[in-house]
Amino acid sequence: MTKELIKGNIAFAEAAIRAGLQAYFGYPITPQTEALEWMSGRMPELGRAFVQAESELGAINMVYGSACTGARTMTSSSSPGISLMQEGLSYIATSEVPVVVVNVMRGGPGLGNIAPAQSDYNQAVHGGGHGDYSPIVLAPANIQELIDITYESFDLAEKYRCIVMIAIDGSMGQMMEPAELPPFREIKKEHPAWAIVGAKGRKPNLICSLNIDEVEHEKVNLRLLARWNQIRKNEVRFKEYYLDDADFAVVGFGTAGRIALSAVRAAREKGIKVGLFRPVTLAPFPEKQIEALAARMKGLLVVEMNTGQMLDDVMRFGKDLSPVRFYGRPGGVIPLPEEILREIEALATETIPADIHPRDLWFDRLTAELGLTYEAA
């Protein structure tokens, strides 16, 4: 196979098709729409199911129905659409049907804008819908990784009978990069034993998120948690760059991690011993790795395209072991490598006050720099 120049939105759509996707349901929303458009041509051409739904609510419930038959099913959307899907996602999680969802995040909250952002981190890693459940959340940082992760995501979803969310942002959806697409996999012929396919030769199957008996539903909750613990044990993924001899580490995922990597390289040229830790699974979060990292480093810099959502997780596992600094640009603004480089330099030279939250320090720095004043808390 040779590499070709391919756009993020098309890349994950085609990777899913090659992974044996049997049904896609979606609704147009920028910056994700090319994926839906790609599916609208490719899926019918291959004799597979495609519906442009009436809304994201419709789409996710079509996904739910299709996944109940055991068919490999996915949807993709962007932040406001993912919010609308939360009802269905909660039902899907409870019903334990495998589903893949791609969120091409954009500037929020509200209608926000169509610029890239990472502000759905909390919604994604905490499930987003009502009730106790945790999806697997994967955050690739380049097109090849996006392809590989999408290709594998169906196996993961089926292995754990859970939701796999792939969280990228608008810039990755729109970006073109040389990448290699994987080979076509055979469409599954067999239906899993739990699937809803007609009760031939057996008692009826039921897929349901309702348990009027709370003691029974408690068991469902505990079963979901048991599975989640398996996932936490087996599926943590991350990437490390220049960390072997590093004194300082930047922590960033997806596009923020990718931009941070350029800043790390620039800092290295200036003689700063800094590396990058890039979580690939946002859920399960690389807790132990962050802990070990913090124990080894003189300081951590968390970089995100939001107001510090992953920061809270890094703080949870690292703050007692290492000073933490934060830099973020929310609302659709992409941080420049120069901005991050400046932050790395400050991390290496300034003392971080232990008694002030890194978010508060960052807020004061950023608002001063932007010339904005807000009422004091």
Partner 1 sequence: MTELQYKETVVFERPTALTPTQTTYCPGCTHGVAHRLIAEVIDEMGIRDDTIGVAPVGCAVFAYRFFDVDFVEAAHGRAPAMATGIKRSLPDRFVFTYQGDGDLVSIGMAEITHAAARGENITVIFINNANYGMTGGQMAPTTLPGQKTTSSPTGRDVELAGYPIQMAELIASIQGTSYVVRRSLHDARNIRQAKKAIRTAFEVQKRGLGFAMVELLSTCPTNWHLTPPDAMNWLKENMLPVYPLGDYKIHDAVKSAGI
Residue span binding partner 1 (CB under 8 A) among the ranges 49-57, 138-146, 155-163, 181-189: 49-57
- List helix spans (H) across 1-78: 8-18, 33-45, 56-68
Question: Could you say whether residue 25 binds partner 1 (CB under 8 A)?
Answer: yes
Q: Residue 196 or residue 334: which is nearer to partner 1 going by CB?
A: 196
Determine if the peptide bond prior to 183 is cis (ω within 30°).
Answer: no
Measured from the CB of residue 125, what is the shortest distance to partner 1 in angstroms?
A: 23
- Tokens in use for 290? 């962050």
DSSP for residue 116: B
Q: Residue 59 or residue 305: which is nearer to partner 1 going by CB?
A: 59
Residues 144 and 178: their CA atoms lie apart, in Å, by 8
Question: Could you say whether residue 335 binds partner 1 (CB under 8 A)?
Answer: no
Which one, of 119, 121, 103, 116, lies nearest residue 171 by Cα?
116
Question: Could you say whether residue 47 binds partner 1 (CB under 8 A)?
Answer: no
Residues 6+ apart with CB under 8 A from 270: 345
Measured from the CB of residue 48, what is the shortest distance to partner 1 in angstroms?
A: 9
Backbone angles phi, psi at 310, to 5 degrees: -70, -25
Q: Residue 130 or residue 316: which is nearer to partner 1 going by CB?
A: 130
Question: Could you say whether residue 241 binds partner 1 (CB under 8 A)?
Answer: no
Q: Residue 136 or residue 207: which is nearer to partner 1 going by CB?
A: 207
Q: Residue 29 or residue 324: which is nearer to partner 1 going by CB?
A: 29
Residues 30 and 168: their CA atoms lie apart, in Å, by 13
Question: Could you say whether residue 334 binds partner 1 (CB under 8 A)?
Answer: no
Contact pattern from residue 182 through residue 211 relative to partner 1, giving x for each residue in contact according to CB under 8 A and a dash for the rest: --------------xxxxxx--xxxxxxx-
DSSP lists the bridge partners of residue 116 as: 106
Question: Could you say whether residue 55 binds partner 1 (CB under 8 A)?
Answer: yes
Question: Could you say whether residue 46 binds partner 1 (CB under 8 A)?
Answer: no
Angle (nearest 5°) at CA 123 between 121 and 126? 100
Residues 35 and 13: their CA atoms lie apart, in Å, by 6
Residue span binding partner 1 (CB under 8 A) among the ranges 87-95, 131-139, 146-154, 316-324: 87-95
CB atoms within 10 A of CB 152: 15
Which residues lie near partner 1 (CB under 8 A)?
22-23, 25, 49, 51, 53-55, 57-59, 61-69, 71, 73, 87-88, 91, 95, 196-201, 204-210
